[in-house]
């Protein structure tokens, strides 16, 4: 079998740094905090961490508004802390992936301060400035993801500027060669520091229609959906020209050893896969969010896996994601029993899995009182992402062992029984399930890099076989609370190695597999 790289056989763990571990008792997680928790990361067995933005930022969007691409926000630590973290991670064989936010800067970034100072500023066209329509209204109908028009009027220079997100996050003009130069220099800066790759924020947004045409209305829009969904972003996102930028980014990473380029892209499969490039020259891993966006139905998930497997260009490596800092947590979307099946799915599908911190405990969305909402998306359009960003639940102790100070977001109400300490050593816990799945993936090539064969099933059973080097594994997940049966005549017999109902482990199965409601099993086939 051909050799695979670390980002193909390994798993990635996303850390939202504000909420992982606080080292200096200000209630906000930081880099030295992460450093104190490397034993834990090594113990669960992840191969890489992706850290959400740690750059200087006014924090209008909690770091996704960058004011300096080549430094560390003092809240998170210093460059020395970053170097220490890189070294310590690498010493343990853990790679470090940084979040890179090229689509927009903070409105307080010196480039934008300069750009908005006057129409003749040398950096004026580093951003997207347009005249008002004759009636004074914005240049077109484009909407901000966070609500309202994507255009903000600047009284000083009497033009509008474009921002796909907050008005504090003006979009850069990626057609400008100087912008590219500077952003690529920032990427090189971190690669030289030793980071192992980037997760590139909203990669599909970078280039906008040169003619600024209006986006068409979305005929399927339903009241109650976010206002942004009222239009199809046909002209403001996913423009063909963006592929050239992806290639340029990739070419930069290729000058270094085994670095990984991950793209955050919310698009349908047939568009998503174009971000792999045409000749293996695009992103290594355009994030595949289907397990987040699809209903938890066996038929739909099975069809989506097959569609995705079929759509991958030659040589492209798949990947799967269950959750992130922008989405409700998996345990709150599908419930705790099914979150166990989700874990098995994530860690046994073909492709690189990305875990979201706390999901390995079955952390759930927390209740945040309206007066405590921090997230600008929550404040603006009522869809707060705070519930999925609460502090990591380390113990039942004060502030869940996250900090000695009251944390910046409230704790999940279940932290006293849902935490690392209480789940460690408990054979039936979510944490133990994650640990065992990751360990098994590491020893069984069939589960990490093996081939994928769907099994046709009826009802709510999702089943497939993974195979490599003569080893075959059956994964069978009952996505419903009702019992189900899977005939094994065409599959063969074997031994249950992991089961949600742990008492079934080591049992032999043949002829047919009985799955009680919500059960899921991993069977080593004979």
User: Under the rule (CB under 6 A), what is the footprint of ligand NOJ?
Assistant: 61, 64, 101, 165, 201-202, 264, 325-326
Is 386 an active-site residue? Answer: no
Q: Does 392 sit near Ca ion (CB under 5 A)?
A: no
Q: What is the DSSP secondary-structure string of 37-79?
A: THHHHHHHT-SEEEE---S----TTTTSS-S-TTS--TTT--H
Place of tokens 């492709």: 351
Nearer CB in complex with Ca ion: 382/406: 406
Nearer CB in complex with Ca ion: 22/99: 22
The binder of 24, among Ca ion, ligand NOJ, none, by C-beta within 5 to 8 A per type, is Ca ion
Q: Shortest gap between Cβ of 26 and Ca ion (angstroms)? A: 4
Q: Does 81 sit near Ca ion (CB under 5 A)?
A: no
CB 53 within 8 A of CB 103: no
Sheet containing strand 260-263, edge to edge, reads 285-286, 260-263, 197-200, 95-100, 48-51, 12-15, 352-356, 319-321
Nearer CB in complex with ligand NOJ: 206/479: 206
The binder of 525, among Ca ion, ligand NOJ, none, by C-beta within 5 to 8 A per type, is none
Q: How far is CA 276 from CA 156, 246, 283, in A?
A: 42, 9, 5
Task: Please choose, out of 19-27, 63-71, 103-111, 256-264, the segment that lies near Ca ion by the rule CB under 5 A.
Answer: 19-27
Place of tokens 């933005």: 53
Backbone angles phi, psi at 235, to 5 degrees: -105, -15
The binder of 26, among ligand NOJ, Ca ion, none, by C-beta within 5 to 8 A per type, is Ca ion
Residues 6+ apart with CB under 8 A from 397: none
Q: Does 409 sit near Ca ion (CB under 5 A)?
A: no
Q: What is the DSSP secondary-structure string of 458-496?
A: STTEEEEEEEETTEEEEEEEE-SSS-EEEE-TTT--EEE
Q: Shortest gap between Cβ of 28 and Ca ion (angstroms)? A: 4
* Of 428, 430, 396, 401, residue with least CA distance to 413: 396
Nearer CB in complex with Ca ion: 28/44: 28
Task: Please choose, out of 26-34, 49-57, 177-185, 432-440, the segment that lies near Ca ion by the rule CB under 5 A.
Answer: 26-34
Set 168, 201, 375, 518: catalytic member: 201
The binder of 365, among ligand NOJ, Ca ion, none, by C-beta within 5 to 8 A per type, is none
Q: Does 85 sit near Ca ion (CB under 5 A)?
A: no
Identify the helix (H) or strand (E) that includes residue 162: strand 159-162
Within the chain, what is the greatest distance between any pair of CA atoms? 77
CB 441 within 8 A of CB 448: yes
Q: Shortest gap between Cβ of 523 and ligand NOJ (angstroms)? A: 37
Nearer CB in complex with ligand NOJ: 285/462: 285
Set 22, 168, 238, 264: catalytic member: 264
The binder of 248, among Ca ion, ligand NOJ, none, by C-beta within 5 to 8 A per type, is none
Q: What are the residues facing 453 on neighbouring strands?
A: 465
Is 108 an active-site residue? Answer: no
Which residues are annotated as catalytic? 201, 264
- Where do contacts with Ca ion occur on this chain (CB under 5 A)? 22, 24, 26, 28, 30
């Amino acid at each position: 079998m051909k050799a695979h790289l670390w980002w193909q056989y390994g798993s990635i763990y996303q850390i939202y740094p504000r909420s992982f571990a606080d080292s200096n008792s200000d209630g906000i997680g930081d880099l030295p905090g992460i450093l104190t928790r490397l034993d834990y990361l090594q113990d669960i067995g992840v191969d890489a961490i992706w850290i959400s933005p740690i750059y200087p930022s006014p924090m209008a969007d909690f770091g996704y508004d960058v004011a300096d691409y080549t430094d560390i926000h003092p809240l998170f630590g210093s460059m020395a802390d970053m170097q220490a973290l890189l070294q310590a991670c690498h010493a343990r064989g853990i790679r470090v992936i940084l979040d890179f936010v090229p689509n927009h800067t903070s409105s307080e970034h010196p480039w934008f301060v300069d750009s908005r100072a006057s129409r003749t500023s040398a950096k004026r066209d580093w951003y997207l400035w347009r005249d008002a329509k004759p009636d004074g209204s914005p240049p077109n109908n484009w909407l901000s993801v966070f609500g309202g028009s994507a255009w903000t009027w600047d009284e000083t220079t009497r033009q509008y500027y474009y921002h796909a997100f907050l008005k504090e996050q003006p979009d850069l003009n990626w057609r400008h060669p100087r912008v590219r130069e500077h952003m690529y220099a920032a990427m090189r800066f971190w690669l030289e520091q030793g980071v192992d790759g980037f997760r590139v924020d909203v990669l599909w947004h970078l280039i906008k229609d040169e003619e600024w045409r209006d986006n068409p209305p979305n005929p399927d829009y339903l009241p109650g959906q976010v206002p942004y969904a009222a239009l199809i972003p046909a002209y403001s996102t996913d423009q063909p020209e963006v592929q050239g930028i992806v290639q340029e980014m990739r070419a930069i990473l290729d000058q270094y050893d085994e670095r990984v380029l991950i793209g955050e892209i919310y698009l349908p499969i047939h568009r998503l896969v174009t971000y792999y490039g045409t000749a293996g020259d695009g992103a290594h891993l355009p994030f595949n969010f289907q397990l987040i966006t699809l209903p938890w139905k066996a038929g739909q998930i099975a069809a989506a896996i097959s569609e995705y497997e079929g759509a991958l260009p030659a040589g492209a490596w798949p990947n799967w994601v269950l959750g992130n800092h922008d989405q409700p947590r998996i345990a709150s979307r599908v419930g705790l029993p099914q979150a166990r099946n989700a874990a098995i799915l994530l860690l046994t599908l073909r492709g690189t899995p990305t875990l979201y911190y706390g999901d390995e405990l079955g952390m759930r969305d927390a209740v945040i009182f309206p007066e405590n909402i921090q997230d600008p998306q929550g404040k603006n359009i009522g869809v707060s992402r705070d519930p999925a960003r609460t502090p990591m639940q380390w113990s039942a102790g004060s502030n869940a062992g996250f900090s000695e100070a009251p944390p910046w977001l409230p704790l999940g109400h279940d932290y006293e029984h849902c935490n690392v300490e209480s789940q460690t050593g408990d054979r039936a816990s979510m944490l133990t399930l994650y640990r065992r799945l990751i360990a098994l993936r590491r020893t069984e090539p069939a589960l990490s890099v093996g081939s994928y064969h769907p099994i046709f099933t009826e009802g709510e059973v999702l089943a497939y076989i993974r195979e490599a080097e003569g080893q075959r594994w059956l994964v069978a997940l009952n996505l419903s609370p009702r019992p189900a049966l899977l005939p094994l005549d065409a599959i063969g017999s074997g031994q249950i190695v992991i089961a949600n109902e742990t008492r079934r482990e080591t049992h032999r199965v043949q002829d047919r597999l009985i799955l009680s409601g919500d059960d899921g099993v991993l069977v080593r086939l004979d």
